[in-house]
Amino acid sequence: MAGRNGLKPLAAVTTGMSELSDEDERILAYLRKRAKGGEQYLRSKHIADAIDLTAKQVGTRLPRLAEHSEDVDIEKWSRARSTTWRVTPE
């Protein structure tokens, strides 16, 4: 996630082989907390409202986070009016 000048933003942190932004970390922390109670079905809008991001910010990050998350399983579940995500602890 390098900017035009080739430098990484200060908000980016490296975890394992993947680079996670502050927003990514906030989303994952929220999903971990919710998944502690077992399987959850969540919409991007509700996640966004809970952590002060936009639904678009959450929705564009979740597919990538689904590939890189090691402690929660994130699965695109359905797309009716908005995408629903199935989140379970691993």
pTM of the model: 0.75
CATH number, domain 31-89: 1.10.10
Task: For the chain, 90 residues long, give each residue's pLDDT as a single digit of tens.
Answer: 444 444 444 344 334 435 789 999 999 999 999 999 899 999 999 999 999 999 999 999 999 999 988 899 999 987 777 789 999 998
Name which of 23, 18, 22 is nearest 10 in CA terms: 22
